[in-house]
Amino acid sequence: MALMISELEQTAAEATARLADVADLDALAALDAEFLGKKSALTTAKKQLGGLDPDERKAAGQAVNEIRKRVEAEIADARARLTATARAQQLEAERLDLTELRNDIRRGSMHLVTQSRDRLEDVFVGMGFTVAEGPEVETAWYNFEALNIPEWHPARGSFDTIFVNLGEPEEVMLRSHTSPVQIRTMENTEPPIYIVAPGRTFRTDTADATHLPAFNQIEGLVIDRGITMGDLAGTIDEFVRAFFGGEVKTRLRPSYFPFTEPSAEFDISRPDGSWLELGGCGMVHPNVLRNCGIDPEEWQGFAFGFGIDRLAVMRYQLDDIRELVNNDVRFLRQF
């Protein structure tokens, strides 16, 4: 009996030594089977207890149990240690290297046209205007007729309109200017009216240094009592000062639009001294007011329409308007 216990103590000591070196969970499972499994010395000894005297059995049983518990505890410790190591190794192996991405993060920015449009809105809102919007696909009524451009009128040709194949021929189109928003606003709003309407416009124009087929305009419309051409000139001056600062010179040249009378075109000076046409403007034609149910005897107003892309070209001193749509990130990142 004493011999058996001392042999078990030796086995336990061997287990302690080998558990100290165990490399991984598989090796640990093998040790577990070897020292605690069915054919292990500890299990065999337990079976043999039955053949002992009752007195001896009790003492031997306690000794065998105590040794077994110790070995079990040591195996459990080893398992906890190896599990933690294995988990750490797995995490290390699965770690993603994000340093390359992190170094390359650049914040994007608003496109120049969007920046210009936002700034324009701010300037005009500061002057007491509100912002209106209209659809990009229009009917002939809004794009032309209500604006005093009947079907036979030669001015229709000057708008180089892109028609949509819908309804009667030349009845539905991509709007060729933002002036239809004037009509939509006057139809729905009682004067006095002070609005600006920025938005996309479309023409069959071929892209060159100053033209794009899809470009942006900002329309302005003021309807009130006693409005004169002086108010129009003052508003444009004020706007140019706010948008460009003091440097830029402006001039109005007589021009012709069917929806304004008198009409003018509005240029701003380039750094080289030449002039760039920015937009058209004028006093709203009485026919247009009547088309919208407004009495021209009581109400007068002015309207203007500027090219936003051309404003951006001027403000950021670009050589070519096409830079705005080439989407070259080396260009875009500068702003």
Residues that bind ligand FA5 (CB under 6 A): 177, 179, 203, 205, 211-212, 215, 217, 219, 257, 260, 277-282, 303-307, 309-310
Closest CB 148 distance from ligand FA5, rounded Å:
11
Strand 193-202 and strand 130-131: the pairing is parallel
Nearer to ligand FA5, 257 or 299 (CB): 257
Specify burial of residue 115 (Cβ count, 10 A radius: 0-12, 13-18, 19+): middle
DSSP state of 127: T
CA atoms within 13 A on the CB side of 89: 7
Specify burial of residue 1 (Cβ count, 10 A radius: 0-12, 13-18, 19+): middle
DSSP state of 128: T
Residues, the chain: 335
Closest CB 149 distance from ligand FA5, rounded Å:
10
Closest CB 246 distance from ligand FA5, rounded Å:
22
Nearer to ligand FA5, 68 or 203 (CB): 203
Nearer to ligand FA5, 179 or 185 (CB): 179
Closest CB 284 distance from ligand FA5, rounded Å:
8
Residues 254, 264: contact at Cβ < 8 Å? yes
Nearer to ligand FA5, 48 or 189 (CB): 189
Helix (H) or strand (E) holding 30: helix 25-36
Closest CB 308 distance from ligand FA5, rounded Å:
8
C-alpha–C-alpha distance, residues 184 and 186, integer Å: 6
The residue number with the shortest CB distance to ligand FA5 is 307
Closest CB 175 distance from ligand FA5, rounded Å:
10
Nearer to ligand FA5, 83 or 204 (CB): 204
Nearer to ligand FA5, 71 or 212 (CB): 212
Tokens of 8: 């078990």
